[in-house]
Amino acid sequence: MSSPILKLIAQRIALGILLLLAISVLIFAGTQILPGDVAQAILGQSATPESLANLREQLGLNDPAYVRYFHWLGGVLTGDLGTAMSSGQDIATSIKGRLWNTLFLAFWAAIVAVPLAIILGLIAVRYRNGWVDKLISGLALASTSFPEFFVGYLLVYFFAVHWQIFPAISTVYDGMPFGERMQAIALPAAALTLVVLAHMMRMTRAAILNVMQSAYVETAELKGLSAFSVIRKHAFPNAIAPIINVVMLNLAYLIVGVVVVEVIFVYPGMGQYLVDHVTKRDVPVVQAVGLIFAAVYISLNIIADIAAIVANPRLRHPK
Amino acid sequence: MANGMAKSTPLLDIRNLRIEATVYPPGEAPKTITLVHDVSLTLEKGKVLGLIGESGAGKSTIGLSSMGYGRGGVRITGGEVILNGRDILKGGKEGFRKLRGREVCYVAQSAAAAFNPAHRLMDQVVEATLLHGTATRAEAEKRAIALFKKLSLPNPETIGERFPHQVSGGQLQRVMTAMALCSEPDLIVFDEPTTALDVTTQIDVLAAIKDAIRDTHVAALYITHDLAVVAQVSDEIMVLRHGRLVEWGGTRQIIKEPRQEYTNALVSVHEIEHQEQNPGATPFLSVKNVTAAYGGGQVKVLKNVSVDIYPGQTLAVVGESGSGKSTLARAITGLLPPEQGTVTFDGRPLANRLADRPKEDLRQLQMIYQMADVAMNPRQTVGTIIGRPLEFYFGIRGRERDRRVAELLDEIEMGKGFIDRYPAELSGGQKQRVCIARSLAAKPKLIICDEVTSALDPLVANGILKLLLNLQEHEKVAYLFITHDLATVKSIADSIAVMYRGEVVRYGSKSKVLTPPFDAYTDLLLSSVPEMEIGWLEKAIKGRRMASAGN
């Protein structure tokens, strides 16, 4: 019974892996094309030609590009992301904590934003074209239209400066108690929620409205179901695929697109880490972070695809 | 069933019902139109009233008013709807919700669209019963299974576990009837419940519905445009037109002694006299042993099909959905290149693929489709639509083109005034006429008509058929007429090919094909066409030799 589904899912996963490989090539090629010599960058202006040549030899820079690519890829596959040039630290170790912080923030932002967006979307459909709908859409659009830094600073102004409920700077450290950690991320999580809310809510509204035209919605109404039951039981299950897609896109954004918010709240996440090392021209770090971001994006989209496949009763229960 | 009180208090008493809607014509101020003009009707317990009329007659609107429901922006603005002794229009939203699915249930035209694809059938069937708390889940499911049995559905114990897409259209229609009966309502509104079905399936569903109504003593409003169908199930018939009552009487009186001219027109709608022409010496188009398949040869839809078309004559291809009728048209036009076999035109083989055919071959074969409104570009005027083949095939432009367009409009019995209209401003019949003019503009030898009258009301369809016959006489054009409607075939064909599961099972001149002895399938097809005669349904079911495929 489930064989067509398993085949489709296997296809998606295989495609995802292929895509990730292609992206690793692009990332590697991109960082190679960048002007500048790594050895020169490390040793600085005063380097002698001999020391430059030695370092190049040591870093393997004289090998052909494909050898270096496979060397890098082999390292990545075994969990070795290389060493940061600027600090000499192992990249995998320093990324681990950062990635955890980013995922922690994204998780709590998503826990609030996704259900809220969907519920607001359902309510907007229930009172479609009425003032409730217009109010929800208006507020959600406004919160998305403001740039993230503006929303961030507004939150800081009111909640940190004015009312002093939450800290303005989201410092977190290892071994921090859960409660304190939650308090620290409250404002960045709120800023992220406001940024992604409208997109998901509008998509939920549009997807369900599309389904509301169906004959089976009329059938449900003619059974005497209340307006909200009709939406929840009969419209929503059939609108789930597009909603999941847009939710996953926003989750990906929460992980890979949070640079500005992290900078505002000085939150030690991946975004800040990336920006810091781009300015230092630390190529191995940029490569590693780029690859991780790509992997996150691709896996979330695979999850969206799989969820859409599984949500389709025609695929789940073939004739 | 017999209720002594019934005479004094009817189940449903609609008095001076007035229904209005607001329309928003492009470029004009919104205006209110009246869809139903002060219609009154009464329905006794356990009786069936047929509501009949063309589209726009207000029959569905009246039917749904018994549930206090208006589709789109439709509003009930006047009159009373008295159900079980109270005016439901005074009950407000909450009152409507309590009666919907409990006192009155609805069976839609297309059960395939009316079932939610995301839920199992059983959950949907018992939903209303559970919602209104008239039975526990176990009781409701037991009741549903009993109804599945009564409606002679296969595997009644387990069919409820299936999803809508796993069940055929005819079966779904019966499951929907079971869904309506499950909450044991007093009244069911059947809204064209068999219109979307094949003729051979329709008869089974009709019989199942009739038995279920009889055994459960439920009252029904049976809405349809097909008088022959409604005559099988109704005690009384009400004829409606443009939202007004035309005639209301017993079934026998309406079909045997109609008092109004319009009713008479409906009763005698299919009688077109058409003298069958003998096939000429040589056909100009021959389909020889054509086999065609979809999905890279996976699904064979045409198996070794051979037919001939003679100049200026009509070949009708009949069969139910999935029999390969439209695929034959696609193979002839090159849209679906056949895997084997050839199509010869004027003595030479036509290229298999559409892309390989010269413009001249394309011009000679034109098509008209079932859905006229989607077959035209909604942003082009009638003049542009009809003028396009003139420019494309003949390079006629400017004033000469306009003159030809006017001529063509004249031929389809529409005036010059339509040149600047958009498709949205035309009625269904007018749209189909424009499509006919567009195909004629190319001066083809053959027009393939794919179910061109199926989406039209009987009287309008009749007009289109007469037009096609007239045009054939003047223009000497041949038709390949694809249809599932045998009455249409009788009035237009010179020869007939009966298709069943991709094969031509019977082929020859009209008189030969329609004269016994019949093969089993042709017999089934012919005996399934509803006749305007009381008791036809029982006779037809008894006399059948094979079961229909959609069953």
User: Any idea which of A114-123, A165-174, A225-234 has the lowest mean pLDDT?
Assistant: A165-174
Residue B136: count of CB within 10 angstroms of its CB: 12
Mutate to test the interface with B, among A126, A216, A234, A236 (most CBs of B within 10 A): A216
Residue A8: count of CB within 10 angstroms of its CB: 16
In terms of domains, do B263 and B316 share one?
Answer: no
Q: What is the pLDDT of residue A133?
A: 92
Q: Distances from the Cα of B548 to the Cαs of B302, B489, B497, in angstroms?
A: 20, 20, 19
In terms of domains, do B498 and B374 share one?
Answer: yes
Q: What is the pLDDT of residue B92?
A: 86
Q: What is the Cα–Cα distance from B16 to A12, expressed in whole angstroms?
A: 61
A4 in B contact zone (CB under 8 Å): no
In a domain, B178, yes or no: yes
Give the mean model confidence (pLDDT) for residues B304-332: 89
Q: What is the pLDDT of residue B203?
A: 87
For B22-25, which contacts have Cβ atoms below 8 Å and span 24 or more sequence positions? B22/B73
In terms of domains, do B254 and B379 share one?
Answer: no
Specify the length of chain B in residues.
Answer: 551
Give the mean model confidence (pLDDT) for residues A195-208: 91
At residue B29, the 3 state secondary structure works out as: coil
Indicate the pLDDT class of residue B2, thresholds 50, 70 and 90: very low
**Cβ separation B100–A219 shorter than 8 A:** no
Q: What is the pLDDT of residue B8?
A: 61
User: Any idea which of A30-44, A112-126, B135-149 has the lowest mean pLDDT?
Assistant: A30-44
Query: Which among A218, A222, A317 has CB closest to B101?
Result: A222
Pairing of strands B75-83, B12-23: antiparallel
- Residue among A275, A226, A279, A298 at smallest CA distance from A19: A298
Tell me: pLDDT of B269 over 70: no
Q: What is the pLDDT of residue B143?
A: 92
At residue B445, the 3 state secondary structure works out as: coil
**Which chain A residue is nearest to residue B125, measuring alpha carbons?**
A223
User: Any idea which of A148-152, A255-259, B374-378, B502-506 has the lowest mean pLDDT?
Assistant: A255-259
Q: List residues of B whose CB lies inside 8 A of any A CB.
A: 67, 69, 71, 96-102, 105-106, 108, 110, 113-119, 124, 127-128, 131-132, 162-163, 165-166
Residue B101 Cα, gap to closest chain A Cα (Å): 4
Q: What is the pLDDT of residue B539?
A: 85
Q: What is the Cα–Cα distance from A121 to A236, expressed in whole angstroms?
A: 10
Q: What is the Cα–Cα distance from B118 to B134, expressed in whole angstroms?
A: 25
Q: What is the 3-state secondary structure (H, E, C) of chain A?
A: CCHHHHHHHHHHHHHHHHHHHHHHHHHHHHHHHCCCCHHHHHHCCCCCHHHHHHHHHHHCCCCCHHHHHHHHHHHHHCCCCCECCCCCCEHHHHHHHHHHHHHHHHHHHHHHHHHHHHHHHHHHHHCCCCHHHHHHHHHHHHHHHCCHHHHHHHHHHHHHHHCCCCCCCCCCCCCCCHHHHHHHHHHHHHHHHHHHHHHHHHHHHHHHHHHHCCHHHHHHHHCCCCHHHHHHHHHHHHCHHHHHHHHHHHHHHHHHCCHHHHHHCCCCCHHHHHHHHHHCCCHHHHHHHHHHHHHHHHHHHHHHHHHHHHHCHHHHCCC
Query: For residue range B153-178, what is the model confidence (pLDDT) as tens digits?
Result: 888 999 999 999 888 888 898 899 99
Q: What is the Cα–Cα distance from A217 to A233, expressed in whole angstroms?
A: 10
Asked if A249 contacts A308 with a C-beta cutoff of 8 angstroms, the reply is: no
Q: Which residues of B touch A220 (CB under 8 A)?
A: 116, 127
CATH number of residue B437's parent domain: 3.40.50.300
Q: What is the pLDDT of residue B416?
A: 80
In a domain, B119, yes or no: yes
The angle subtended at Cα A131 by Cα A130 and Cα A135, nearest 5°, is 125
**Cβ separation A220–B116 shorter than 8 A:** yes
Phi first, then psi: what are they for A187, rounded to 5°? -70, -50
Helix (H) or strand (E) holding B520: helix B520-528
**Which chain A residue is nearest to residue B183, measuring alpha carbons?**
A223
AA letter at B330: R
Residue B132 Cα, gap to closest chain A Cα (Å): 8
Q: What is the pLDDT of residue A89?
A: 83
Higher-confidence residue of B152 and B148: namely B148
Tell me: pLDDT of B226 over 80: yes
Residue B473 Cα, gap to closest chain A Cα (Å): 43
Q: What is the pLDDT of residue B352?
A: 87
Query: For residue range B425-459, what is the model confidence (pLDDT) as tens digits?
Result: 888 888 999 999 999 999 999 999 998 888 788 88
**Which chain A residue is nearest to residue B69, measuring alpha carbons?**
A222
Complex ipTM, two decimals?
0.79
**Cβ separation B118–A214 shorter than 8 A:** no
Q: What is the pLDDT of residue B5?
A: 45
Q: Domain of B409? A: 312-322+355-515
Tell me: pLDDT of B275 over 80: no
Residue A234 Cα, gap to closest chain B Cα (Å): 7
Q: Which residues of A touch B110 (CB under 8 A)?
A: 215
Give the mean model confidence (pLDDT) for residues A182-210: 90
**Cβ separation A238–B110 shorter than 8 A:** no
Tell me: pLDDT of B308 over 60: yes
Indicate the pLDDT class of residue B103, thresholds 50, 70 and 90: very high
Domain spans in chain A, listed from the N-terminal domain onward: 92-280
**Cβ separation B118–A238 shorter than 8 A:** yes
Q: Structurally, how many domains does chain B consist of?
A: 2
Indicate the pLDDT class of residue B23, thresholds 50, 70 and 90: confident
A126 in B contact zone (CB under 8 Å): no
Tell me: pLDDT of A1 over 70: no
In a domain, B329, yes or no: no
Mention every residue, 6+ apart, whose C-beta is less than 8 A from residue B227: B52, B237, B254, B255, B266, B267, B269, B532
Query: For residue range A45-95, what is the model confidence (pLDDT) as tens digits?
Result: 777 888 888 877 777 777 788 888 888 888 888 888 877 777 778 888 888
Tell me: pLDDT of B142 over 90: yes
State the average pLDDT for chain B: 87
Query: Which among B98, B108, B166 has CB closest to A224?
Result: B98
Q: What is the pLDDT of residue B548?
A: 60
Query: Which among B117, B119, B131 has CB closest to A223?
Result: B131
Mention every residue, 6+ apart, whose C-beta is less than 8 A from residue A108: A182, A185, A189
- Chain A residues 253-282 within an 8 A CB cutoff of chain B: none
* Largest Cα–Cα separation, chain B: 77
Indicate the pLDDT class of residue B496, thresholds 50, 70 and 90: very high
Q: What is the pLDDT of residue A226?
A: 92
DSSP state of B100: B
- Chain A residues 197-236 within an 8 A CB cutoff of chain B: 214-216, 218-226, 234
Residue B98 Cα, gap to closest chain A Cα (Å): 6
Q: What is the pLDDT of residue B546?
A: 67
**Which chain B residue is nearest to residue A227, measuring alpha carbons?**
B97
Q: What is the Cα–Cα distance from A185 to A170, expressed in whole angstroms?
A: 6
Indicate the pLDDT class of residue B1, thresholds 50, 70 and 90: very low
Indicate the pLDDT class of residue A120, thresholds 50, 70 and 90: very high
| Token pair 């070794």: residue | B304
Tokens representing B220 are 């029904």
Q: Which residues of B touch A314 (CB under 8 A)?
A: 117, 163, 165
Q: Is the peptide bond before B517 cis (omega within 30 degrees of 0)?
A: yes
Q: Which residues of A touch B113 (CB under 8 A)?
A: 214-216
**Cβ separation B117–A222 shorter than 8 A:** no
Give the mean model confidence (pLDDT) for residues B115-140: 93
Give the mean model confidence (pLDDT) for residues B129-139: 92
Q: What is the Cα–Cα distance from B427 to B435, expressed in whole angstroms?
A: 13
| Token pair 């859960």: residue | A178
**Cβ separation A220–B117 shorter than 8 A:** no
| Token pair 């494909």: residue | A66
Tell me: pLDDT of B59 over 70: yes
**Cβ separation A216–B117 shorter than 8 A:** yes
In terms of domains, do B372 and B497 share one?
Answer: yes
Q: What is the pLDDT of residue B6?
A: 43
A92-280: which CATH number, 1.10.10.10, 3.40.50.620, 3.50.50.60, 1.10.3720.10?
1.10.3720.10
Give the mean model confidence (pLDDT) for residues B200-221: 88
Q: Which residues of A touch B73 (CB under 8 A)?
A: none
**Cβ separation A317–B163 shorter than 8 A:** yes
CA A151 to chain centre: 19
Residue A225 Cα, gap to closest chain B Cα (Å): 7
Q: What is the pLDDT of residue B474?
A: 87
The angle subtended at Cα B216 by Cα B215 and Cα B221, nearest 5°, is 110
For B542-548, which contacts have Cβ atoms below 8 Å and span 24 or more sequence positions? B545/B520, B546/B520, B546/B521, B548/B170, B548/B198, B548/B200, B548/B201, B548/B203, B548/B204, B548/B320, B548/B524
Tell me: pLDDT of B3 over 80: no
Tell me: pLDDT of A2 over 60: no
Give the mean model confidence (pLDDT) for residues B201-226: 88
Asked if B149 contacts B80 with a C-beta cutoff of 8 angstroms, the reply is: no
**Cβ separation A225–B69 shorter than 8 A:** no
Q: What is the pLDDT of residue B454?
A: 81
**Which chain B residue is nearest to residue A314, measuring alpha carbons?**
B165
Counted across chains A and B, CB pairs separated by less than 8 A come out at 72
Q: Which residues of B touch A313 (CB under 8 A)?
A: 117-118, 163, 165
Mutate to test the interface with B, among A219, A226, A229, A240 (most CBs of B within 10 A): A219
Tell me: pLDDT of B351 over 50: yes
User: Any idea which of A171-175, A237-241, B105-109 has the lowest mean pLDDT?
Assistant: A171-175
Q: Which residues of A touch B108 (CB under 8 A)?
A: 215, 218-219
**Which chain A residue is nearest to residue B67, measuring alpha carbons?**
A222
Q: What is the pLDDT of residue B418?
A: 86
Q: Which residues of A touch B114 (CB under 8 A)?
A: 215-216, 218-219
Q: What is the pLDDT of residue B549?
A: 52
- DSSP for B348-391? EEPPSSGGGS-HHHHHHEEEE-S-TTTSS-TTS-HHHHHHHHII
Q: What is the pLDDT of residue B551?
A: 45
Higher-confidence residue of A290 and B56: namely A290
Query: For residue range B521-539, what is the model confidence (pLDDT) as tens digits?
Result: 888 888 888 888 888 888 8
Pairing of strands B48-52, B365-368: unpaired
**Cβ separation B115–A219 shorter than 8 A:** yes
